[in-house]
Structure 1
Amino acid sequence: MKIIYLLIFSCLITHSQLQDENMVGYHFKNGQISLYPGLKLINFNDKNIDRNNKQAFSQKNNTQFGRYNNKSFVRYCVHEHYSTSLSNDITGNGLYSLVAWEMNLDRVSCYNNINFFPCNYSVNPLPFWEYKLPEQNMGNRNSVSSSSSGDYVVASDFDFFIFLFNGLNGSLIWNYQIPYTFYQTSTVAITNSGNFIICALNNRYPNIPEAKYLLGFNKDSNIPIWLTEIPIDSSVNIQYQGISGIRISGNDSLAIVSNYYKFFIINVSTGEMIYWNWNNPYYHNNNGFGWSQGISGDGSILAIANYYGYVRIYKWNGNTYEYLWEDQEPPGERYNWINCVDVSEDGSMVAAGTLNFIDYQNYIYCGKVKFYRVYSGNNPIWTHTDSCEGVNDVSFSKNGKILCAATGGKYGDPSLPNLLVFKTTANINIPIFAVSDSGSFLRCSISDDGTTVIGSGDKVHVNHFGMGGMYYNLSIDTSAEPIGIIANEKNVPEKFYLSQNYPNPFNPKTIIHYQLPINNYVKLTIFDALGREIGTLVNEKQSAGSYNVEWDGTNYSSGLYFYKIECDGFTDVKKMILIK
């Protein structure tokens, strides 16, 4: 059946590949009349840009945007009058970033992140190249994805077309027009190598019980190499079975594909469906999930979110995925959502963003960033609670050291940060850098080493009617450490908690993290394998908040050690291993 479908789709291709004059859409040319006031256009063949220059940007701190006193700063920002962005991506080396603009003047913009200096709100940098997408008939949800090197960029227009570009000069390699008028393109993804592309095809009329499809391409041809059917499940509402998320594992072997009710594991090169399960195994027809689920670099760890408030972790056992653990965001007046999720490349960490309904009738929401270590169980290592209007996206750097989060921000109070950057090795809920904007960040991406973070979204807050979009590019000082203890009313931990030290095993230093929900007298003690007390790290009264304490094992031999925390009515002990 898959072969028959593939032949039908391939035979109905209506254009030639690699012939730019036959392609839909067009490039913006330098000097072309702007389609609306204020738009700046650039020719993608600019010879003055040194694409091989990886030198860092100016280290001047831009305090207008940044909230933390380190070498991190905002390289530049783009504020759009008429377009917004629900999709962005960045190359692994951080040299190029891609933004898919929608709502008006739909286009893909590539920004060269070299030799930019911090700017202010009044200055928008010229894109390296841009490509105007065809006018849409079926709403707006343009999608863009880049290979790790930036050599290849793929985009879809939420209508009929898929585009593959040479990311280093913007030239169009090929496009593909879906031949069946009842279907439209949806989200799209490209492998890190750039060799394979996956695009989702959804029914244009959600109430019609037609199957959804995944198309697989090799970069060298716009003829699909496989087509996989995602069948309709009649046991749940057919209206919400469109494919909404695709995320490819770091080694390019597997993709996790999701609709509202289910997630599917797909072999990238063949399209074979390896595994599927429910996003919400407790209530199949309710509280599913509407975006991309999480997968580790080798595909062995999955993080599955749902609107029932659960994060569920699965691990490949050699034959199938087995359930490891779950954690639920406690319900309030209704079920709170896990709104986004990501897994680190090595599969050791999970981040989740929540949407908490404080007063649903009056549109009062908040959000949390929750950070887990997979093999430490279902208690978050830390939780950052000062995220108004919900957390919309989270993303780890490939090296696992930096985590970024895009949040809605508080309507009417632009002083609160809504693009956050955390250092995972710090084991604490304090960002090392953050940006405050009156709009709402919807998506974020991060370079492999964590030194570049981008965020895009609505320039007008999501809880207010209006048009416009924004895009920020941040330079992150990855050597920075969080400063201070978050102890204000909005960030007080919910309970006493002692986390597993990190790293573990270690040599010679490790970090011990703990949380206090109230002001309390704290004693933190180290014991050897025989139970003898060998050191006291903390012995004082402390305010409510989250704390990191370092233990230096330089003067101790390899072996098993214990650390114990004692507070008013709370005691906990954990093991740690020193290896020299």
Structure 2
Amino acid sequence: MKKQNLLRAKHILLCVNCMLFFIICNLFSYELFAQENIHTTGFYNIYENNKVVTVTNPEVNNGGRHSLFLPQSNFTDNLASYTRWYYQDPSSMGNNIAVSGNSLYSFLGWDLNNKRAAIYDNNSSTPLWVFPTSTSTSTTYAATSDTAGSNAIGAYTNIYLFDKSSNVPFFNFDLTVLPDTGRAGPLDVTSDGNYLIASASRSDTSTFMCFQKNSTTSLWKYRLPKTAYGVKISGNDSLVIVSTYNYFAVINIYTGTARHEGYIQYGTQARYGISGNGNVIATCDLRGYLNVYTWNGSTYNLNWTFQEVPGTYYNWMTSVDISEDSEYIAAGSMVFLTSSSYDGRIRYFKVSSGNTPLWVYSGCEDNVCCVSFSKNGRILSATTWGDLNHLKPDLYIFKTKPDVSTPPSIYTVTTGGSFYSCGTSNDGTTVVACGKAVHARVFGSGGLLYNISVDTSEGPSVVIDPGVEPTGYRLFQNYPNPFNSMTNVKWQMLNAEQVKIIVYDVMGREVDVLVDERLSAGSYSVNFNAGNLTSGVYFYRLTAGNFSETRKMTLLK
């Protein structure tokens, strides 16, 4: 009898444990990005009550460990870039965004709640149109052509193409016609909008497909093991690099022939980089490696490798891009300082100089999830999750040329959330970014969308006023004053001097440097663009040799 009671008790305990297991499974919904097992190294999402939190699962380093702390880089917004507009969605989250090459349009998918695709211009945060996507969609992938004539989205089991003028798709491929359906994964379109490379993502094997925009019959299909994470077309539209968790291939767009296939031992969840002509490619992985390959006419040879050195855990190289001219590479990383503290770093390499970066920007506080070059290579944008206290920026914009040893800053954006994706127009004058309204590591909902006007000039231009003879050293009142965004500052000096004109806010903090150069005797003027500043009182100070004068200006928007 005692033995029977003991067996009965064990049976009851087993049933209770099973019930608890199913209850816990129903409380939380897990999604590792693109269906990887949640114990695999990488990112995964936990969903609860229409909210989401992102969790990072690092690999313990059992080998040699290094000090991971770098001094934080300084960043000064010193050019006339500004936020054109921004939008905060009350419940949705922005995962993927693309900007048209001509800098005029941005296209993205909103996920989590009120799932949809939307296109915007530079004038307003009101979309030109909206297209509802399936409520079963977890991630909406987006891409656009140079003129936004072909806007692609992948959502649940559909791949669509739209013109910028209409939310009625002119192309709709249903993945359920495939024998192994999968879910719509990463995609890209050629710059002219005539070709689309899309993916059907599955945990075992993913399928990449090429379409002409006017036909849903694929030109070719290419399969790689594991879940799809990246599709990136070369700038000349001839090649595409596609990637899954452990594999990648470089494929001729017009023939479907693979010129190279490779294996990534340590896994990745990033889109890889490819240069304009496809002669340079770059891969990154979840042990912090950046691998750069060059084409020798018949195959890709490994050129050099860089590793974000590990500490207690292996660090991750999480994003990469290559300039159109094949000369430069930008890479973003996530560093595990401890089990619960992080850093993000942006590195800028010259391909011909090997694995020593030209400069490093450290202190981004968390995952640098996206880096993006302008097609002319002059502007680099990068998005990060930022710090939990929201004291550091989540979007950084750099001027990349000429080559310098310190990060050449232009503009930053600090939010109360985390950015996940960014895009940079061909000429670099427009940068767009989207993300989550609360930090990636915090349960929450709501989304962010920013549109930035980037000043790609070398700085404010100093203009000589001919025919105006200086009578001494003098700083004139700016005109107009008060002003809305743009005003002109004039001064004169009797001798050649090193000249500085610096703008300060009412707290005495430097907000802009208008002039910092040696000038001959004469009368001068410079325009000040305050588009990125809030309304209020500001002060500007002229220093020329031993002379100094300060005046007040009022910005009214």
Q: How big is the shift at 1:185?
A: 1.5
Aligned to 2:243: 258
Contact 2:369/2:384 (CA < 8 Å) preserved in 1?
Answer: yes
Q: 2:299: which partner in 1? A: 320
Q: CA deviation at 1:415?
A: 2.9
Deviation of 1:229 after TM superposition, in Å, equals 2.4
Residue 463 (structure 1) aligned with residue 441 (structure 2): yes
1:95-141 CA distance string (max 9 Å, x none): 00011111111111100114x5xxxxxxxx211111111221xx511
The match for 1:72 is 81
CA contact (8 A) 1:403 1:422 kept: yes
Residue of structure 2 in register with 1:132 after alignment: 132
Distance 2:122 2:305 in 1: 39
AA matched with 2:213: K
CA distance in 2, matches of 1:471, 1:103: 15
Q: TM-score, normalization: structure 1?
A: 0.64
| Residue of structure 1 in register with 2:36 after alignment | none
How far residue 69 of structure 1 moved from its aligned partner, in angstroms, is 4.5
| Matched-pair contact (CA < 8 Å) for 2:181–2:200 | no
- Determine if the alignment matches structure 1 residue 393 to structure 2 residue 393: no
Which SS does the other structure have where 1:386 is aligned? coil
Letter in 2 for 1:382: W
Aligned in 2, Cα 1:67/1:470: closer, same or farther, shift over 3 Å?
farther
Q: Aligned pair 1:165/2:162, yes or no? A: yes
Structure 1: distance between partners of 2:429 and 2:304: 32
Q: Per the alignment, in what secondary structure is the counterpart of residue 359 of structure 1?
A: coil
- Corresponding residue of 2:211: 217
Amino acid at match of 1:324: N
Offset, 1:321: 0.5
TM-fit CA distance, 1:336: 0.9
Aligned partners of 1:432 and 1:480 also within 8 Å: no
Aligned residue type for 1:323? L
Say if 2:337 is the partner of 1:358. yes
Following superposition, the deviation at residue 169 of structure 1 comes to 3.8
Pairing 1:305-344 to 2, within 5 Å after superposition: 305-344=284-323
Aligned 1:18-97 pairs, distance under 5 A: 68-97=77-106
Please list the CA deviations of residues 149-178 of structure 1 after superposition, one character each: whole Å capped at 9, or x if unmatched.
111111110x21111111244442121112
Instruction: Output the CA distance in 1 between the equivalents of 2:139 and 2:326.
Output: 29
Where do 1:61-210 residues align within 5 Å?
68-114=77-123, 116=124, 125-136=125-136, 140-157=138-155, 159-178=156-175, 179-180=177-178, 182-203=181-202, 206=203, 209=204
**Partner residue in 2 for 1:474:** 452
Deviation at 1:407, TM superposition (A): 0.6
1:411 corresponds to which residue?
A: 388
Native 8 Å contact 2:294 2:300 kept in 1: yes
- Paired with 1:183 and 1:376, the residues of 2 have a C-alpha distance of 42
Give 1:481 shift. Answer: 5.3
Kindly provide the amino acid, as one letter, of the partner of residue 244 in structure 2: N
Q: Percent identity?
A: 34
Runs (4 or more) in structure 1 with deviation over 4 Å come to none
1:256-309 deviation per Cα after TM superposition (whole angstroms, max 9, x unaligned)? 011111211111122222211122xxxx2xx31112000001100011111111
C-alpha separation between the residues in 1 aligned to 2:232 and 2:143?
10
**Matched residues in 1 for 2:248 and 2:199: separation?**
13
Whose Rg is larger?
2
Secondary structure of the corresponding residue to residue 445 of structure 1: strand
Residue 528 of structure 2 is matched in structure 1 by: none
Cross-structure match for 2:255: 270
Q: 2:398 aligns with which of 418, 422, 443?
A: 422
Distance in structure 2 (CA, Å) of the matches to 1:408 and 1:212: 28
In 2, Cα distance between the equivalents of 1:430 and 1:437? 22
The residue matched to 2:343 in structure 1 has which SS?
strand
Give the Cα–Cα distance (whole angstroms) in 1 for the partners of residues 303 and 255 of structure 2: 28
Task: Return the alpha-carbon distance in structure 2 between the equivalents of residues 216 and 192 of structure 1.
Answer: 15
Q: Does 1:448 align with 2:442?
A: no
Give how far 1:67 is off. Answer: 6.5
Q: Is the 8 A contact 1:150 1:168 kept in 2?
A: no
* Structure 2 Cα separation of the partners of residues 229 and 416 of structure 1: 41
Superposition pairs for residues 530-545 of structure 1, below 5 Å?
none
Could you give the per-residue CA deviations for residues 438-477 of structure 1, whole angstroms, max 9, x where no partner exists? 1111111001111110111111101111111101000011
Tell me which residue corresponds to 2:549: none
Give the secondary structure class of the aligned counterpart of 2:269.
Answer: coil
Paired residue for 1:533?
none
Matching residue of 2:481:
none
For residues 192-240 of structure 1, the C-alpha deviation after alignment (integer angstroms, 9 at most, x for no partner) is 111111111123xx3xx5x32112110111222222222x4xxxxxxxx
Query: Aligned Cα RMSD in Å?
Result: 2.0
Task: Output the CA distance in 1 between the equivalents of 2:164 and 2:436.
Answer: 25
Q: Secondary structure at the match of 2:355?
A: coil
Which residue of structure 2 aligns with residue 249 of structure 1?
Answer: 234
Q: Describe the shift of the 1:447–1:182 C-alpha distance in structure 2 as closer, same or farther (beyond 3 A).
A: closer
| Aligned-pair CA distance for 1:416 | 1.2
- Give the structure 2 partner of residue 47 of structure 1: none
- Larger RCO, structure (CA 8 Å, separation 6 or more): 2
Further displaced range: 414-423 or 179-188: 179-188
Query: Tell me, what secondary structure is at the counterpart of 2:108?
Result: strand
**Structure 2: any 5+ residue segments left out of the alignment?**
1-74, 461-557
Q: Any gaps of 5 or more consecutive residues in structure 1? A: 1-65, 117-124, 233-240, 483-580
Question: Against the structure 1 CA distance between its residues 481 and 307, is the aligned structure 2 distance closer, same or farther, given a 3 Å change threshold?
Answer: farther
> Of 274, 299, 302, which residue of structure 1 is paired with 2:281?
302
Provide Cα deviations, 1:339-373, integer angstroms capped at 9, x if missing partner: 1000000110000001000111xx21111000000
